[in-house]
Amino acid sequence: MKLIDNHGRQINYLRLAVTDRCNLRCFYCMPEKGIDYVERSALMSFEELMRLVDIVTKLGITKLRVTGGEPFLRKDLLGFLQMLKESNLEEVHITTNGTLTHDAVPQLKDLGIRSVNLSLDSLDRNRFDLITRRDRFETVWRTFIQLLTYKIPTKINMVVMNGQNIADLIPMAELARKYEVDVRFIEEMPFNGTGSTPDVPWTFRTIHDHLKAHFPTLALIPAAESSTASKYSVQGFKGSLGIIAAASRTFCGSCNRLRVTPQGMLRTCLYGEGTFNLKDMMRAGATDPQIMQAIVEAVGNRAKDGFEAESSRKNGIVSESMASIGG
């Protein structure tokens, strides 16, 4: 069975946030005091998540990303990854801040994790500390090297923040010269948990032009239609560069993803408020066919793009933390 939305887009990718907790405080993601974490009992249990995986694979979902919050803060994450390995999914990926990941890398390799997205917003220790409000640069760097050592395909995600880490753009891009890594620059989105809207002069175009000025051989690489990143090669580079128009939202026309928040809310768009709560439905005794039907209906009412989803919010503008959604 295929899951097709009301705009003809096939959904085959689920992003699953397994916790909203985090040990960093990246200022583009949450306020210094953190966010109000949900009670543990309000998180979907691993059993409930595996039931969901069983249902969505029957609907044609083949790819899953485990995210959060920081997924490695979820107790027995590796046990959960083992269960995912035994599921009908074809690909499991992880997004992590790399602070608690280093020692797990050999097991991630054994578990067949297809790729890891590692968040790293600066190569300068002081700037890293300022952005994350924690002193963990060395740890994250060791994780990066460990991922490469174990040959797990790795992408670096750097959120480009005006006045904060612009000096890191070129050094970060240079990592792809030396290492086989995809370095991706992400437009800053308003999911900072404060309700304030960031000034985003560093759009896709500005980032592109800045890179092109330094790397004249920057050339677009054809990518999968559903990819949110525009991918580029540079002559002499082992890896590649990417730019994600996360705030401009130019890729919505081919979006193939669903999201489930740590509390079990199904989101058919990052910018929307969510459709219905899977965990509540399961705990109320719904059968698998009923849950399947609810997913099909939610997907059948999907917003055309992130702008339509945002404007249909009942509770006003985007203000929640990305950690409470799963970026």
Binding positions for ligand SF4, rule: CB under 6 A:
22, 24-26, 29-30, 68-70, 97, 119, 322-323
Binding mask 63-102 for ligand SAM (x = CB under 6 A): ----xxxx------------------------xxx-----
By CB under 6 A, how many residues form the interface with ligand SAM? Answer: 22
For the segment 132-191, give every residue that binds ligand SAM (CB under 6 A). Answer: 157, 159, 186, 188-189, 191
Partners of 183 in the beta sheet? 156, 241
Q: How far apart are CA 298 and CA 320, in angstroms?
A: 21
Binding mask 251-290 for ligand SAM (x = CB under 6 A): ----------------------------------------
Residue 126 CB partners (closer than 8 Å, separation 6+): none
Residue 274 CB partners (closer than 8 Å, separation 6+): 261, 265, 266, 267
Contact 307, 289 (CB under 8 A): no
Q: How far apart are CA 53 and CA 55, in angstroms?
A: 5
Question: In the numeric block, which tokens belong to residue 169?
Answer: 């753009």
Choose the one of ligand SF4, ligand SAM, none that binds residue 20, judging by a C-beta under 5 to 8 angstroms depending on kind.
Answer: none
Give the three-class secondary structure for 4.
strand
Binding mask 107-126 for ligand SAM (x = CB under 6 A): ------------x-------
Beta-carbon-side half-sphere exposure of residue 275 (alpha carbons within 13 Å): 21
Report the residue from 22, 49, 77, 123 that binds ligand SAM according to the rule CB under 6 A. 22
Q: Does 320 bind ligand SAM (CB under 6 A)?
A: no
Q: Does 327 bind ligand SAM (CB under 6 A)?
A: yes
Residue type, 241: L
Choose the one of ligand SAM, ligand SF4, none that binds residue 193, judging by a C-beta under 5 to 8 angstroms depending on kind.
Answer: none
Question: In the numeric block, which tokens belong to residue 212?
Answer: 């092109």
CB closer to ligand SF4 out of 14 and 29 = 29
Q: How far apart are CA 297 and CA 14, in angstroms?
A: 16
Q: Which residue has the tokens 């595996």?
A: 50
CB closer to ligand SAM out of 97 and 294 = 97
State the residues that interact with ligand SAM by CB under 6 A: 22, 28-29, 67-70, 95-97, 119, 157, 159, 186, 188-189, 191-192, 246, 322-323, 327
